[in-house]
Amino acid sequence: MKNINKTTDEFKKIVQKEQPPVNKTANFFKAFLVGGTICLIGQVFQELYMAFFNYSQQDAGTMATITMIFLGGLLTGLDIYDEIGQFAGAGSLVPVTGFANAMVAPALEYKQEGFIIGIGANLFSIAGPVLAYGMVSAFIVGLLQTLFGG
């Protein structure tokens, strides 16, 4: 019988030996290509909103962001965004579509539990802490700026 009691160092060596090699250069270019393409699509939407609906640049930017969040959520629901993420890595996580994916994916995993207990309870399981820390940080920076001028 094999000795299954391994030390941490022995376990790490076994894991490293079994893992496929990582091509960091290829991952960098894939992330850059996909992330850049997502941002390009967002920019195209902004330009379309300005050209066809006569929105100001700021309003068109807001509408483009809303559109990209919708598309990220839709592609997550259709199981397409996960495929993009497998290929692009962080290139699909950093744009706002990655935020939509982080919101929708956990909720979809629990949809069989119902709207309240399943989707509602798990909708913010990943994005909730990010939102909470972001809002607290914004409050602290705003408070400091108010107290000490800026």
pLDDT in tens, 45-58: 999 999 999 999 99
CA 32 to mean position of chain CA atoms: 15
- In the chain, % of residues over pLDDT 90: 53
pLDDT tens for each residue of 96-127: 898 888 888 887 877 778 777 777 777 777 77
Q: Which of 18-22, 59-63, 108-112 has the highest mean pLDDT?
A: 59-63
Tokens of 13: 């060596």
- Mean pLDDT, the chain, rounded, equals 87
- Of 103, 81, 108, 80, the C-alpha closest to 92 is 81
30 and 87 Cβ atoms separated by less than 8 Å: yes
Dihedral over alpha carbons 66, 72, 76, 82 (to 10 degrees) = -160
Nearest-angstrom CA–CA distance, 80 and 71:
11
Q: What sign has the CA pseudo-torsion 71, 74, 76, 81?
A: negative
pLDDT grade, residue 150 (50/70/90)?
A: low
Is it the case that residue 71 has pLDDT exceeding 80? yes
Residue 50, C-beta contacts closer than 8 angstroms, at least 6 positions apart: 56, 57, 60
Residue 95 tokens read as 């744009």
pTM (two decimals): 0.71
pLDDT, tens digit, 9 for 90 and up, residues 74-85: 999 899 999 999
